[in-house]
């Protein structure tokens, strides 16, 4: 721990010289008595560790208007829209959009995590949430409890690589609770056995007390994360699409009109149940062209009370169909 703290301290010094003082990397190297390559790595490490926060004080007016329109249309308590469109109306850079979502998502998440009052925090899974948590500043909040909403076991018995509860707990030095079950059980009877396990019930009961929930959304299509990671087969993807599924939240398939889809596959999902409308803050974090239809579906279903998304998805969600 001491070694890591020393590295963070050195990285903070390098970042201060680079971003505030305006020193070059050569000058930083001279000041700190290190090589230029080490100075470069320290500045990068400072960014990756969340020591450096970049703020643009002039908001993009179109994004503010879209956020306000989404709040009014879908009854959201909060909404943040990051820019993603060029002057020609096309998405500029999908990777850049993900990074912007991560930065804004981290800012929103930190408002809750920085509280001194003990919180129960539910987290979903997925690439966007993982990126958000990587952007969250490290802090000491051992009084909080982080609860995973998805099964911690992948189809082959390995851990679910997009289950982010442990990452969140590590960031704030808090306890985390995971569901001891696969995301999709082998059968409906198997699902009932997993969900009736004593430890599962303890975690599920704790999740019901959550003060805030952070969740993402995935697509339902060939090559979607659930298919790619082996949770469902190509035939099961086609089956869900036949039922009208356009997206999923923690494994629960959602139709285009926002309803939860009842299907044989749903009867095997062990993830925690969802509630519409949510009684406490449930903040969705998702963006990108491929997720636009899924995001709109979730909004139509009233599953979220807050949203962080990009300009393209915001416009798509406001279209009348």
For the chain, give every domain's residue range: 4-49, 60-318
* Percent of the chain whose pLDDT exceeds 90: 63
The helix/strand/coil state of 219 is: strand
pLDDT tens digit sequence for 69-122: 999 999 999 999 998 877 666 777 788 888 889 989 999 999 999 999 999 999
* pLDDT computed for residue 70 by the predictor: 97
Distances (CA, A) of 36 to 8, 24, 237: 17, 9, 51
Q: How confident is the model at residue 56 (pLDDT cuts 50, 70, 90)?
A: low
Q: Which of 52, 73, 24 is nearest to 296 (CA)?
A: 73
Query: What does the pLDDT look like over 174-225, one tens digit per residue?
Result: 999 999 999 999 999 999 999 999 999 999 999 999 999 999 999 999 989 8
Whole-number average pLDDT of the chain: 89
Which residue has 């959201």 as its token pair? Answer: 76
Choosing among 3.10.129.10, 1.10.10.60, 1.10.240.10, 1.10.10.10, the CATH entry for 4-49 is: 1.10.10.10
Cα distance between residue 117 and residue 205, in whole Å = 20
Task: Determine the pLDDT at residue 49.
Answer: 82
Q: What is the pLDDT of residue 88?
A: 64
Domain 60-318 top-level CATH class: alpha beta
| pLDDT of 129 | 93
pLDDT band at 51 (very low <50, low <70, confident <90, very high): confident
């Amino acid at each position: 721990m001491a070694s890591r703290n020393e590295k963070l301290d050195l990285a903070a010094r390098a970042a201060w010289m680079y971003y505030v003082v305006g020193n070059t990397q050569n000058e930083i190297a001279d000041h700190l008595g290190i090589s230029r390559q080490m100075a470069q790595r320290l500045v990068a490490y400072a960014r990756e560790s969340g020591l450096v926060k970049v703020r643009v004080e002039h908001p993009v007016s179109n994004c503010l208007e879209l956020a306000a329109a989404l709040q009014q249309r879908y009854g959201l308590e909060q909404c943040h829209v990051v820019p993603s469109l060029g002057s020609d109306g096309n998405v500029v850079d999908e990777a850049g959009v993900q990074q912007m979502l991560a930065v804004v998502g981290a800012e929103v998440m930190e408002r809750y995590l920085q509280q001194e009052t003990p919180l129960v925090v539910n987290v979903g899974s997925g690439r966007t949430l993982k990126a958000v948590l990587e952007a969250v500043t490290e802090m000491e909040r051992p009084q909080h409890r982080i609860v995973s909403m998805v099964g911690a076991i992948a189809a082959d018995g390995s851990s679910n690589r997009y289950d982010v509860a442990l990452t969140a707990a590590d960031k704030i030095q808090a306890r985390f609770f995971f569901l001891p079950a696969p995301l999709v059980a082998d059968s409906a009877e198997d699902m009932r056995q997993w969900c009736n396990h004593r430890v599962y019930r303890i975690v599920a009961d704790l999740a019901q007390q959550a003060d805030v929930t952070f969740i993402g959304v995935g697509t339902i299509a060939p090559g979607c994360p659930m298919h790619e990671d082996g949770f469902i087969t190509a035939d099961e993807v086609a089956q869900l699409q036949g039922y009208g599924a356009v997206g999923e939240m923690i494994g629960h398939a959602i139709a285009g009109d926002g309803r939860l889809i009842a299907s044989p596959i749903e009867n095997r999902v062990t993830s925690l149940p969802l509630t519409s409308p949510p009684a406490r803050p449930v903040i969705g974090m998702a963006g990108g062209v491929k997720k636009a239809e899924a995001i709109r579906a979730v909004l139509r279903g009233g599953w979220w009370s807050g949203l962080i998304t990009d300009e393209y998805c915001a416009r798509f969600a406001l279209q009348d169909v």
